[in-house]
Amino acid sequence: MSPAAKIADVCLVLEGTYPYVQGGVSSWVHQIVTELPEVTFALFFLGSTKEQAVKKRYTPPPNVISLTEVFLFERPPPAQLVPTPLTAAQRAPVYAALRAFYLAPDDAARDGAFWSVIDAFDAAEQAGAPFTFGNLLRDEEAWELLTEVCGRIAPSESFIDFFWAARFVHLPVWLALCARRSIPPARMYHSVSTGYAGLLGAFAARRQRTPYLITEHGIYTKERIAEISQATWIYDPRGRYFDVAEGMGAFKKMWINLFMFLGEVSYTGAHRIVSLFEGNTHLQIEFGADARRLEVIPNGIDPAKFDAALAQRTARLSGGLGEEIVVGFIGRVVPIKDVKTLIRAARAIITREPRAVFHIIGPTEEDPDYFDECKQMVALMGLEKKVLFLGPQNVREILSGLDVCLLTSISEGLPLIILEAFAAGVPCVATDVGACRELIFGRTAEDKALGRAGLLTKICSPLDTADAVLRVISSAENLLTMGRAGRLRAERHYRQVEIMGKYRAFYTDHRWSELSAPNSQLSTS
């Protein structure tokens, strides 16, 4: 496909996801572009290396009119490494802008200075004196600025490491900025993360004076911080084992500062910032988003698809509890899901409710060691007949056979399985992480009035988990009541068609963006 012959309704700015990488976010994007055929999309894919984008994992529908790819961790084009010979006078405005940016007294001043930097680069280019990355590598002004910044933020750190960190932190940003010229024109921009994608989304929307929308599934900045604090490729004089809260090496901080900054630029440039659930909005505010522009739009499902399972289950339970009470765990058997806590809870539950059996449903091959440990634990507790590893199953079919769904995850976003369980009328017991609280107890007052669709537990607490499960399965009546609340909640607040409707509205009627114009410094160019 040739890059946008005509202007798309929406340019989706995608960092390392659709259509080349499989995953939750990619499926979500695919769903959006497929279910809104009347909207035309231009895809702007930001990848790390070309290898990542060899094979498309999804086939975009015909309303996707262009796909542009940019790679940020490729070797830069040789021409970008050759400094343009510029006079001191030609360099001066760019370095004045860069100085204002790097030496800015506070975040607000810095964010404003950032756009002046971009404008200075553009002005230089229009004047026939384009800056290259080579200029930043070789110009004496750049060196002076670098040493000045080093004196400020890392005076007692190894300089060669500071030097390389500075180069490597800036190179992908530079390549992203180079890509600003190839952003397809569109009536609005929508990035499905902050980061480099957010930077370009904010830039494009600012330059073309169009609305800019961010949807975050996870919180990009937080995820990067977690990743960097564990990275071993960044030199850290304190060694690998340190507490994030206590601070970390200057070079890890440089990377973290970069991502925090990219987050801020994205947030302050956006007219609306969407997260999947309430909990994430707090993080977004923490990372620089304006609370007035936040909105929660969860993931959705089609409850009708679970009607059969719901009917079967209701019929089964109307005769009271059966000889077996089936507690289902649906998910990958990996440490983050904390299956071990589930097994320990199972032991406690069975002691008090011998009818309980546990079905562990989901792939087990991702972490074979962990799976082995889980199996050994089951054997050690003598639960081989009670805790069954069933492998991957068709969720819609098995849900009717479950009495309660149990999630022991240490961390979650908005788990789709809870929505699916609700649609099939299965109550859930889940740890109080991610969106679980608002799913099970309700988010708004009206939502809460629907009743509880299960219970919440503390993480890593087998006894708490056992108590909650026992309370939920205390009677068939309780199971049915909670199941009804869940089904209602899924129908009222998590319907896929309604969620698609919200995005359709975003895409086709831009009035929302006038109500929440971004920060003043962004609207003036």
Partner 1 sequence: MAGIGFQLTKLMQKRTLAGGLHAYGFAALIGSGPWVLSMVTLAALGLVLHRAGAARELDLFFVAVTHVFAFSLVVTGPLQLLLSRYTADAVFSKQDEKVFPSLLGSLALTLAVNAPLGFGFFVGFVPAPPLFQFAAAGVLMAVSAIWVAAIYVTAVKDYTAVVRCFAVGYAVSFIAAWLLSRSLGISGTMAGFLIGQLVLLLTMIRVIYREYGTHAPPSFAFLHYFKKHTDLALCGLIYNLGIWIDKPLHWWLSPHGFPVSGALWASPLYDQAVFLSFLSIAPGMAVFLLTLETTFAGHYSEFFRLVIERGTLREIVHTKELMADALRDSLARLLKFQGAFTLALVLSADRLLASLGLGAVQTLVFQVTLIGVCLLVLFLALLTVLFYLNKTRDALLCCAVFASVNLALTVAGLLADERWYGLGFTSAAAAGTIVAGVLANRALQRLEYETFTSIPLSS
Residues that bind partner 1 (CB under 8 A): 73, 75-76, 81, 133, 137-138, 140, 143, 147, 150-151, 155-164, 167-168, 171, 232-233, 235
Pairwise CA distance, residues 117 & 123, whole Å: 10
Quote the least distance from Cβ 231 to partner 1, whole Å: 8
Quote the least distance from Cβ 505 to partner 1, whole Å: 41
What DSSP designation does 22 have?
Answer: -
- Measured from the CB atom, the residue of 171 and 339 that comes closer to partner 1 is 171
Quote the least distance from Cβ 227 to partner 1, whole Å: 13
Peptide bond into 19 cis (omega under 30): yes
- Measured from the CB atom, the residue of 255 and 503 that comes closer to partner 1 is 255
- Which structure tokens are listed for 445? 């007052």
CB 304 within 8 A of CB 245: no
Quote the least distance from Cβ 145 to partner 1, whole Å: 12
Quote the least distance from Cβ 222 to partner 1, whole Å: 21
Quote the least distance from Cβ 164 to partner 1, whole Å: 5
Quote the least distance from Cβ 162 to partner 1, whole Å: 7
- Measured from the CB atom, the residue of 94 and 414 that comes closer to partner 1 is 94
453, amino acid identity? A
Pairwise CA distance, residues 372 & 339, whole Å: 12
What is residue 251's three-state secondary structure? Answer: helix
Pairwise CA distance, residues 193 & 199, whole Å: 10
Quote the least distance from Cβ 54 to partner 1, whole Å: 20
- Which structure tokens are listed for 429? 């017991």
Tell me which residue has tokens 């910044």: 149
- Which structure tokens are listed for 255? 């990377």
Pairwise CA distance, residues 249 & 227, whole Å: 14
Pairwise CA distance, residues 203 & 185, whole Å: 12
Quote the least distance from Cβ 209 to partner 1, whole Å: 36
Pairwise CA distance, residues 102 & 118, whole Å: 13
- Measured from the CB atom, the residue of 126 and 232 that comes closer to partner 1 is 232
Pairwise CA distance, residues 439 & 444, whole Å: 11
Alpha carbon 304 to chain centroid, angstroms: 28
- Measured from the CB atom, the residue of 123 and 150 that comes closer to partner 1 is 150
Quote the least distance from Cβ 113 to partner 1, whole Å: 24
Pairwise CA distance, residues 53 & 511, whole Å: 36
- Measured from the CB atom, the residue of 227 and 446 that comes closer to partner 1 is 227
- Measured from the CB atom, the residue of 53 and 430 that comes closer to partner 1 is 53
Distance (Å) of CA 416 to CA 40, 299, 349? 27, 7, 26
- Measured from the CB atom, the residue of 81 and 104 that comes closer to partner 1 is 81
- Measured from the CB atom, the residue of 133 and 503 that comes closer to partner 1 is 133
CB 177 within 8 A of CB 124: no
Sequence-distant (6+) residues with CB within 8 A of 474 are none
- Measured from the CB atom, the residue of 31 and 158 that comes closer to partner 1 is 158
Share of the chain residues as helix, strand and coil, in percent rounded to the nearest 5: 55, 15, 35
Quote the least distance from Cβ 143 to partner 1, whole Å: 5
- Measured from the CB atom, the residue of 82 and 480 that comes closer to partner 1 is 82
Question: Which among 47, 22, 43 is positioned nearest to 33, based on CA atoms?
Answer: 43
CB 61 within 8 A of CB 34: yes
326, amino acid identity? V
- Measured from the CB atom, the residue of 231 and 285 that comes closer to partner 1 is 231
Alpha carbon 244 to chain centroid, angstroms: 21
CA atoms within 13 A on the CB side of 410: 10
Quote the least distance from Cβ 517 to partner 1, whole Å: 38
